[in-house]
Amino acid sequence: MNDESPPQADDPRVKLEEKILADYPRLGPDDTFKFGCHPGVSCFNRCCGDVNIFLSPYDVLRLKKRLGMKSYDLLDKYCLLPVQKDMKTPVVVLKMNDDEAKTCPFLGDSGCGVYADRPWPCRMYPLGLASQKDTPDGWQGDRFYFLLQEDVCKGFEEPQEWTVRQWFDNQGIDEYDTWGEAFKELTLHKFFETGGTLGPERMHMMFTACYDLDKFREFVFDSTLLERFEIDEDFVEEMRYSDEALLRFAFLWLRFSLFGEKTVKIRPEAAQAVKGKGTGK
């Protein structure tokens, strides 16, 4: 893992965040913008380098399937796992190439080599997503979109006009957002708002279940985990081969084991055994 210091008040990331909230025009679903990105633009391929692309569990799932790789191999070859002192949940970032331009490893002469399965941030561009930090608890305020107008990007000179909603449809963002919302049930859980923290073991458990699905599958099927919960047999079979089913289970199981939510049902005999342990029987 790479060590990375948390953002300080004079950090450019903090300054950008403040600028976005203060200055950037906010876009709603029906607001319009002009943009086009195609091999004919003079800047084609220039933006896919030296960027921080944070990957969600669903981004990793799509990339591993696309590349036909095991999750642990993909994480090892293409990802960084930065560690910050105040980090509440695991973070995975796409690793840029070790060349001068720090190009994305998936960039080829004809553009993105994983286009149909490119990560959420690559789909969203040129739109950014922000939330008004208007409660003492953190980022719980209104979500809004804004235009990320990078100087290098000539896409804004193209004539095609979009509403935010049309851009989402065109880029297939809704599916990613649905998974993103399910992930937020973990990352924005009130456990964290009330000062809860995950120790290294639980942090690793969350990382494995969310991002390292092939490792998590081994854990699910090679341990006694399935004996402890009432899970539909067909769903168990689906988890053997479907990464989506396994990730759905991972989110539910983590909410149960990290935060005590009743998202999976414990078997009566397992509950009895736990009770017995608790009372010293």
Closest to ligand SF4 by CB, 179 vs 251, is: 179
User: Which residues is 111 bridged to in the sheet?
Assistant: 108
Q: Which among 125, 65, 54, 147 is positioned nearest to 95, based on CA atoms?
A: 54
Fill in the per-residue mask, 137 to 156: x = in contact with ligand SF4 (CB under 6 A), - = not in contact. ---------------xxxx-
The residue (of 90 and 155) whose beta carbon lies closer to ligand SF4 is 155
Please name which of 167, 162, 48 lies closest in space to residue 114, comparing C-alpha atoms: 48
Which of these ranges, 23-31, 36-44, 215-223, 224-232, lies near ligand SF4 under the rule CB under 6 A?
A: 36-44
Of 21, 37, 69, 270, which lies in the binding site for ligand SF4, with binding defined by CB under 6 A? 37
Q: Quick one: tokens of 168?
A: 């989402």
Write down the least CB distance from residue 44 to ligand SF4, Å: 5
Of residues 62, 64, 95, 118, which one binds ligand SF4 by CB under 6 A?
118
Q: Using CA atoms, how far apart are residues 2 and 265, in angstroms rounded to an integer? A: 38
**# residues contacting ligand SF4 (CB under 6 A):** 21
Contacts of 41 (CB under 8 A, 6+ apart): 154, 155, 158
Residue 35 or 183: which CB sits closer to ligand SF4?
35
The answer to whether 93 and 83 have CB atoms below 8 angstroms apart is no
Q: Rule CB under 6 A: choose which of 24, 44, 72, 229 binds ligand SF4.
A: 44
Instruction: At 242, list the tokens.
Output: 């479907």
The stretch near ligand SF4 (CB under 6 A) out of 74-82, 111-119, 139-147, 236-244 is 111-119
Range 182-219 burial, b when 16+ CB lie within 10 A, else e: bbeebebbebbeeeeebeeeebebbbbbbbbbbbbbee
Nearer to ligand SF4, 9 or 152 (CB): 152
104 in contact with ligand SF4 (CB under 6 A): yes
Q: Does 48 bind ligand SF4 (CB under 6 A)?
A: yes
Residue closer to ligand SF4 by CB (options 125, 146) is 125
Position among 80, 93, 112, 273 found at the interface with ligand SF4 (CB under 6 A) = 112
- Residue 122 is a binding residue for ligand SF4 (CB under 6 A): yes
Q: How far is the CB of 24 from ligand SF4 (least distance, A)?
A: 18
- Dihedral angle of Cα 251, 255, 256, 258, to the nearest 10 degrees: 120
Enter the tokens of residue 33.
């913008």
- Distance (Å, rounded) from C-alpha 4 to C-alpha 22? 27
DSSP characters for 42-90? TTTTTTSBS---BPPHHHHHHHHHHHT--HHHHHHHHEE--B-TT--S-
Residue 46 lies near ligand SF4 (rule: CB under 6 A) = yes
Q: Which is nearer to ligand SF4, 44 or 259 (CB)?
A: 44
Q: In degrees, to the nearest 5, what angle opens at C-alpha 87 toward C-alphas 83 and 93?
A: 50
What is the binding site for ligand SF4 (CB under 6 A)?
Answer: 37, 41, 43-48, 104, 106-107, 112, 114, 118-119, 122, 125, 152-155
